[in-house]
A and B are shown apart, each in its own frame.
Chain A
Amino acid sequence: MIRYILRRLVLMVPVAFLVTIGVFVLVRISPGDPALTFAGEERDPAAIAAIREEMGLNQPVPVQYVVWLAHVAQGDLGRSFQTHQRVLEAVTERLPATLELGLAALFFSVTVALVVGILSAVKRNSIVDLLSTSITLAGVSFPSFFLGIVLILLFAYVIPGHIFPPGGYVPLAQDVGDNLRRLVLPAITLATASLAVNLRQVRSSLLDVFGLDYMRTARGKGLHERTVITRHALKNALIPVVTLIGIQVGAIIEGAFITEQIFFWPGIGRLAVQAIPSGDYPVVQGVVLVSAFSYMFTTLVVDVLYAWFDPRISYGTASA
């Protein structure tokens, strides 16, 4: 097991390098002049030249990469061109909002998927099952930003009483009630796509397990149907579901870019999206890098857990 983990870690090193190069190159090929962004409306050529010098933009690109990488290794992601704030600080300030939204969405999608998924697997081809399979298909096809807009229209404007606000964020520490009220619509929006995937996974893995020998044995022993489902089927079916939760971290990170934008949720996704039109590269770079690394890390953890749970996985295979 430890060898497997080590092997995976070693394999991650070149990938991580490629990722940093990719992120760096993406930002470097972007048109526009960072020094001009930094200077705002100031157009004095001397001042701009001084800024360019100070930002190290006069050095050759490979040198800039090495300098940048050295800084990144020390946790220094540079400073925003626009706000001059440290990018790492900007990201860590916004992270709680994103985490709160992401966890809420994850919780929502997993609980609903479990409940509905079990129901539809147990009562196969019933109305519940039909409904859940159609919701699954619809859910993966429904664009999250459109869902968000529909929810805003309904709950913030159309339905009298304006149950939920159209957007905005209040820190948990400041007002718990208001925070939760504002969390509902974005969390549902973010959860829907992964809910559909989860639901499908719960249902199909339960159905698979139902067909297995030991289930027949359990049934044959005369065990109560409920006991069969909870004791035997669910336990085994949960393995892929647990790993799915991990994989969904990716879906939630990318969903956050869109959802935060619609609901004015001040997380890292919105930070990056807002930085794009103004050409604030260090911020975009920072957020993309942070999301890539957290995604890589969770994928690793999930693979390891999966290997742990399921002894059929050979530790020898390089990448799943």
Chain B
Amino acid sequence: MRSARYFVAFLGAFAVLLAACSGGQQPAGGGSASPSAGTKATYGGSITFGLENDVSNLDPMLSGLFVDRNIMYAMYDSLVRVTPKGDIIPWLADKWETSSDGKTVTFTLRTDVKYHDGTAFDADSVKWNIERYKTTQGSLRTADLASVDSVTVVDAKTVKFNLKSAFAPLLGALVDRAGMMVSKAVQTAVGADFTLKPFKAGTGPFILTEAVKGDHYTLEKNPNWWGKDKDGSKLPYLDKITVRPITDADVALTNLRTGNAQVLNRINGKDVAAVKADSTLSYLEVGSFSWNSLVPNEAPGFIFSDHRYVKAVAMALDRDEILQSGPAAGIGLVGWGPISPAHFAYDASFKPWPKADPDGAKKLIADVGKGPLKFELLVPSGDAGILQAAQLIKSELAKADITMDLKTQTLNEIVAIQQKHQHLGMTFVGWSGRLDPDGNTYDFVVTGSPNNDSSYSNKQVDDLMAQQRAESDPAKRKQLLLQAQQIYTVDDPSRVWYGFGVSPLITVKNLVGMESYPDRIPRFQAASLQK
């Protein structure tokens, strides 16, 4: 999973400076989200976080799954972090400066940070970490750091990233796993077991002290963490977090209601209303970066090479029924393209088909003149919610005389089919989303890009997407992104986007100080348990 690779190209050097300046005024360590007026944070207490699946890997270098990051954000710090609104803020790096040619970024590091094992965090450590991510065979972070040529230690608290060419999105990558710092002493001592038992390896607000695969992970308070709340009190407040994988959302919710868990970050749509009405629980949500789509997958004899068919499907979908009024309501936001409300470039007025238009779709298919449209949709097996949505979509398309047969396959098979272009119909595959809109768009629509499964190619889109990457003025960049979006969703559609995910955060009422982030990862450093 590529982490937010292309963050804030729009702000360029200007934004970087701005963020650096604002660094001093913000409470360090994301304490801005500390308890609302009137309630005072209390120290102590233990909570259980019900994670949706077991973690795969706790080494930031080798992790490829979303669940992993839920634990990593508590145990590791990265060089920079984001606010819930998506602004990059100082974290392990106090400030940073990009050279005028954009080819070097110099980070000034905090000097009050130690790894949980007692070793020092300094410029040497940053260099070692980045080099490990870049050069180790099998590293999943190489793409994130592809723009980095070398890392130079200037002095103990200053480290310089030398880039191959100007690449403002680098900062976005350093928010996530590519910017997470692990203790060299721990990593070299533990060896192969580092993947699942990286005890005391981070600098974060909590220390991983126990990992029982498939059962639970224990995070204990780091009493020496550097972060402080807005009153200057030391963070974190909580003594202990137990992370327990609970795969079924219903069971997880039951656990929350019976006091066996205090935090969840997912819920079935059918339960949202009840949770909102429950006075013992608190429900927060924010639009996420993720989107859902039907992907025409190119192969010889490909039906959707006539993009009017893609458009017909896009028109016939009743997005409102899928995401708002239907049985799955409450777990997504209606959308028509890949740029989500959580992105700066989102355009709320972009609603090409505010209502389902089966008649328009019929007409379009008649215009093509090759008879009725019939295709097969590959659906990842094993998830009842996805199955539900797919069946709903099938019934909606039927209203436009479009026959869509469903076929469930393992996700792994579907990905392979996409890669090798062996499917004539569509596949039902979403994207977990990236901080920068570029990460939600570029690779899916630009000619020859790795995620462009329909082999879509539109010269105008290619040009616009290249331009936005180079554009430093956010307003202009937004315009370019939206111009391209109009083409690849409506004028000459590449695939069918129908909605965005939301990031829910469900906690017990007396757990305060937490915020929902578009990436759905809970941040625990400012959480406190009210007595």
**In-complex A–B contact (CB below 8 Å):** yes
Taking CB atoms, residues of chain B closer than 8 Å to A42 are: 1-2, 64, 140, 143
Specify the chain A residue showing the minimal Cβ separation from B146.
A44
Which of B248-256, B332-340, B467-475, B479-487 is found at the contact surface with chain A?
A: B248-256
Let me know if B1 and A40 touch, CB within 8 A.
Answer: yes
Specify the chain A residue showing the minimal Cβ separation from B138.
A54
Give complex CA distance A197, B17 in Å. 76
Interface residue SS majority, chain B? loop
Which residues of chain B (32-60) have a CB below 8 Å from chain A? 54-57
Given contacts A43-B451, A47-B142, contact A84 B195 (CB under 8 A): yes
Given contacts A36-B419, A54-B137, A274-B247, contact A47 B143 (CB under 8 A): yes
Give complex CA distance A167, B248 in Å. 10
How would residues 243 to 283 of chain B score, 1 for a CB under 8 Å from any chain A CB and 0 otherwise?
00011101100110000000000000000000000000000
Taking CB atoms, residues of chain B closer than 8 Å to A50 are: 137-138
Specify the chain A residue showing the minimal Cβ separation from B450.
A43
How would residues 134 to 162 of chain B score, 1 for a CB under 8 Å from any chain A CB and 0 otherwise?
00011010110000000000000000000
Q: By CB atoms of chain A within 10 A, which of B62, B382, B451 has the most?
A: B382
Let me know if B215 and A266 touch, CB within 8 A.
Answer: yes
Let me know if A41 and B137 touch, CB within 8 A.
Answer: no
Let me know if A39 and B450 touch, CB within 8 A.
Answer: no
Taking CB atoms, residues of chain A closer than 8 Å to B196 are: 83, 85
Let me know if A166 and B64 touch, CB within 8 A.
Answer: no
Let me know if A279 and B138 touch, CB within 8 A.
Answer: no
Say yes or no: is B186 at the interface (Cβ < 8 Å to chain A).
no
Given contacts A47-B140, A278-B410, contact A39 B64 (CB under 8 A): yes
Let me know if B416 and A32 touch, CB within 8 A.
Answer: yes
Let me know if B213 and A85 touch, CB within 8 A.
Answer: yes
Let me know if A264 and B57 touch, CB within 8 A.
Answer: no
How would residues 58 to 100 of chain A score, 1 for a CB under 8 Å from any chain B CB and 0 otherwise?
0000000000000000000000101111000110011000000
Given contacts A40-B65, A41-B432, A264-B247, contact A277 B143 (CB under 8 A): no
Query: In the assembled complex, how far is the CB of residue A249 from the closest CB belonging to chain B, in whole angstroms?
Result: 23
Taking CB atoms, residues of chain A closer than 8 Å to B56 are: 80, 82-84
Query: In the assembled complex, how far is the CB of residue A109 from the closest CB belonging to chain B, in whole angstroms?
Result: 26
Q: Of A45, A80, A82, which contacts B450 at CB under 8 A?
A: A45
Specify the chain A residue showing the minimal Cβ separation from B54.
A83
Let me know if A32 and B410 touch, CB within 8 A.
Answer: yes
Let me know if A37 and B412 touch, CB within 8 A.
Answer: yes
Given contacts A32-B412, A276-B382, A277-B411, contact A266 B214 (CB under 8 A): yes
Taking CB atoms, residues of chain B closer than 8 Å to A36 are: 412, 415-416, 419
Taking CB atoms, residues of chain B closer than 8 Å to A89 are: 213
Which residues of chain B (222-259) have a CB below 8 Å from chain A? 246-248, 250-251, 254-255
Let me know if A44 and B450 touch, CB within 8 A.
Answer: yes
Say yes or no: is B380 at the interface (Cβ < 8 Å to chain A).
yes
Binding site for B on A (CB under 8 A): 31-34, 36-45, 47, 50-51, 54, 80, 82-85, 89-90, 93-94, 165-168, 171, 264, 266, 271, 274, 276-279
Q: A266-B214, A277-B410 are in contact. List 19 more A-B contacts (CB 8 A).
A: A31-B413, A41-B2, A42-B64, A44-B450, A51-B138, A80-B56, A83-B196, A90-B214, A166-B254, A167-B248, A167-B251, A168-B246, A168-B251, A271-B214, A276-B382, A277-B381, A277-B382, A279-B410, A279-B411
